[in-house]
A and B are shown apart, each in its own frame.
Chain A
Amino acid sequence: MTKVTMTVNGRQVSGDVEERTLLVHFIRDRLGLTGTHVGCDTSQCGACVVHMDGKSIKSCSTLAVQAAGSSITTIEGLAQGGELHPVQAAFKANHGLQCGFCTPGMVMTAVDMINRYGGSLDEKTVRENLEGNICRCTGYHNIVKAILAAASDMSAGRQAAE
């Protein structure tokens, strides 16, 4: 057992974990944050994506001990003050989700993608950057639409603020 301490959604948390404990299981089973999902065993589906120090990672292929000292944001930590994050709002407005299981990973990936590309995102880039997230319900059509809409909204918001 090893003691790990990290910040999750702005709160410091710690716990004793087996060395083999995956970050996703620490988040789900220890912290009870069940929004982060496990959809495969091979780091392919992306249902487990969270942010570590602001960048998207797959929490199914990260050990909890590797996350020690880092700042983790899960889907539960994205909306602020009861307001949906613009990416969450865009998924809702564009019907970018059906069963909801891949959605947390999709949203966390999308936020990172928009952070990296900003308003310069186009459909091809979005599709390439979604390669690591699998959705079986939507055919990606409305996910792509939602991400492009959010990128455009967030970029407009930034420009308005400047």
Chain B
Amino acid sequence: MGVEGIGARVERKEDKRFLTGKGRYTDDMVVPGMKYAAFVRSPHAHAKIKSVDGSTAEGMPGVIGVLNGQQMLDDGIGNLICGWMIHSKDGSPMKMGAWRPLAHETVRYVGDAVAVVVADSIDEARDAAEAVVVDYEELPAVTEAATALTGGQPQIHPEAGGNLIYDWAIGTDVAETDAAIAAAAHVTEMTIVNNRLSPNPMEPRAALGIYDGAEDHYTCYTTSQNPHVARLVMSAFYNVAPENKLRVIAPDVGGGFGSKIFIYPEEIVCLWASKRTGVPVKWTSDRTEAFLTDAHGRDHLSTVKMAFDSDNRITALKVDTIANFGAYMSLFSSSVPTYLYATLLSGQYDIPAIHANVRAVYTNTAPVDAYRGAGRPEATYLLERTIETAARELGVSPAELRRKNFIRSFPHQTPVIMNYDAGDYEASLEAAMKEADWAGFDARKAEAEGRGKKRGIGMSCYIEACGIAPSAAVGSLGAGVGLWESAEVRVNAVGTIEVLTGSHSHGQGHETTFAQLVADRFGVPIDSVSIVHGDTDKVQMGMGTYGSRSGAVGMSAIVKALDKVEVKAKKIAAHLMEADESDIVIENGEAKVAGTDKTVPWFQVALAAYTAHNLPAGMEPGLKEGAFYDPSNFTFPAGCYICEVEIDPETGKTEIVQFVAADDFGNIINPMIVEGQVHGGIAQGIGQALLEAVHYDPQTGQLLTASYMDYAMPRADDLPSFKVSHQNTPCPGNPLGIKGCGEAGAIGSPPALMNAITDAIGNNDLTMPATPQKVWAAVHAAQ
């Protein structure tokens, strides 16, 4: 592998700038003449807008403009859209209501943008925004999806009768599934709540819109995980500008976790307002706005039946899920509880019959879309809580019940579309149990009892689908885009290399890992390799970073481009050394003729390509190649997580005393970075299970958790250090054998923790987050 190649724990190239305060985030950008935007937002969860009066605000100090939704409509700016078409069981298309960037008729959640003020300073903009008078006629609101589906509830969009967006099903025929359940020796039934979360990247969203009237050209700096998709959507659907007149730059981005995939009203408004006012316009979200308007995650309510034969083999699974979509359909919202959720309901288990039904519902809450794991945490939580409960009901060990039902031969076709290509679930289960000293748990429990503590242990065996995704396959399922990735490898005349990628790094360390890939291929130092990303003027096209796709898809595109560069470089080297092209080997920074001592340094090969004085006959000068890579399948990371807790029955407080993760991510480029991804994912999963929940007041629709004083983010003293290991089976579907690691931690950890807590307290009736109050009540209910 070499000290800087594939598999090496290379320190990150990007770290120095972040550690010395030289990172460049969107809010750090300053351009001449730049002014500041503040939004006027709805204080009501549901209301008609009778009038918007900006006249007082317009006269206030520093104010340049007060703009509203009617003006935006008059200028032809389009509706925000959801880019994945889902059809209901009856064949009808999903019922998407209109989402205006600035509402002009109806507001549908607290935080819905109504107007924007542009002023000399942010304080002046905010002062003036408070002086914009909006006359509302309040309407009744509904925040819970199951309630919104019942009769007599507020109708949120005229397009979606009864607030139902779609009623979709997948898998085995429902009658066949019901028959299998009816014939079962045992059926475990549960109601599963997957709590609503706020993604909370530490960098709040921001946008800087710059309109150049002379060129009729727009530039948008924004906090995006996928700037090219942002440009495509803003151009094709929102009519901001044609693509060649719109440059989108996502500079350093401070975390995303899904919430920065989507195109929000604010970046569109900043671009439009820049043209309207004639000045560059910057908006930076504060944290309260982030809680109000960043797309939330999860919020599922499900019922599940898991059927077993007399030998404890799972014979059928039936799931009914209600997914809360909030007030508008965000960009990829429709795909999350369908193709990213229900397709993973087989888990690691061989289940002959699976039927899942999903209803998506409008409510008067913030839009809900992908958040770290996006559907897969919901599937894993449902399955792993259910199988754990089944083990308790059947009186067998949770490990044995899982083992008995593991899929053991590959490829494996599930009843819910997915075709698993490789895996070894036994290996990660065994590794995790050994690392956690599962066998010694009873002794530790007894010891804890002596101290008045309740000790519990729980596991979860997860699978997910990454490397999103084969374009034709997702196209047939309704995706509005292809999910390939692009790369361009530019070898400079002196042999240094620039890699242009459509992937986007917002913490993942691509500047290091992608450089490792190139260093590995040609034996050049990683310092001579630069990664260029996040700018639509530099990189032609790309689909961005989410769903753990940068390794499996983004790096595979780089591999394809490197292959082409290598072919041409070998031809040049062979020509220079008068050897046969098939005898050339490129390694350690030079081209060699195999079996001889003839070599040409790498930089001379590059130089020859650009001087073009002595190239093979007919060869074009230069050494630069591009490639698009479209994956042939999803990848399937999997693993086993074990959590051990101690609970103080007097206070209900849970202490995590041990957390073990054993993952199969396929081949790994940089183990240090992969471990970091797992740590962060586990912390977010523990956050969901123990601390975090978005709460709306069900009567008024007011967001009750709109700051870090009310929404419990995991802090350092809430968490233990983690024991992380890998048992890797290479992925056969891509050239590097990579599966992906970005979401696993957030997927595997919540059920492991909830299984541990419910084991400790002997009461399975507990929902996330398991706050001390809830745990205390559950402890005492069990006594």
Contacts and interface: CB of A to CB of B under 8 A. Distances in A.
A42 B254 contact: no
Interface in B709-735: 709, 713-717, 719, 721-722
A99 B16 contact: no
Interface centre among A99, A123, A144 (most CB of B within 10 A): A99
A37 interface: yes
Interface string B315-355: 00000000000000000000000000000000000000000
A49 to B, nearest CB: 12
A52 interface: no
A135 B716 CA distance: 8
B53 interface: no
Contact of B203 (A74, A79, A95, A101): A101
Interface string A106-145: 0100000000000000011011101101111111111111
Contact of B708 (A32, A134, A137, A140): A134
A39 B722 contact: no
Given A98-B680, A99-B254, A92 B19 contact: yes
B255 interface: yes
Interface stretch (B7-15, B129-137, B359-367, B456-464): B7-15
B673 A134 contact: no
A151 interface: no
A45 B202 contact: yes
B708 A84 contact: no
A123 B15 contact: no
Nearest to B204: A39
Given A44-B709, A99-B201, A137 B507 contact: yes
B363 to A, nearest CB: 26
B662 interface: no
A40 B713 CA distance: 12
Given A42-B709, A95-B12, A100-B254, A140 B719 contact: yes
Given A39-B287, A130-B715, A101 B721 contact: no
A47 interface: yes
* Chain A contact residues: helix, strand, loop or mixed: loop
A88 interface: yes
A91 B255 contact: no
* Chain B contact residues: helix, strand, loop or mixed: loop
Interface in B4-26: 11-12, 14-25
Contacts of B21: 33-36, 74-76, 104
A58 B15 CA distance: 23
Given A41-B707, A136-B200, A18 B676 contact: no
Interface string B689-715: 000000000000000000111000111
A143 B715 CA distance: 12
A47 B675 CA distance: 24
B676 A39 contact: no
A92 B11 contact: yes
Contact of A139 (B24, B202, B680, B717): B680
A57 interface: no
Contacts of B28: 28, 34
Interface string A11-38: 0000000101000000010001111111
Contacts of A144: 716, 721
Nearest to B284: A38
Nearest to A90: B19
A127 B716 contact: yes
Contact of A140 (B24, B200, B201, B716): B716
B255 A45 contact: no
B520 interface: no
B20 A95 contact: no
Contacts of B709: 42, 44
A95 B716 contact: no
B679 A136 contact: no
B123 interface: yes
22 contacts: A20-B123, A34-B24, A34-B25, A35-B22, A37-B202, A40-B708, A41-B288, A41-B707, A42-B707, A42-B709, A84-B19, A88-B20, A92-B11, A95-B11, A98-B507, A100-B18, A101-B203, A107-B19, A126-B716, A134-B708, A134-B713, A141-B679
The 10 closest A-B pairs by CB, nearest first: A35-B21, A100-B18, A101-B254, A139-B683, A99-B507, A44-B708, A98-B507, A130-B716, A75-B21, A139-B679
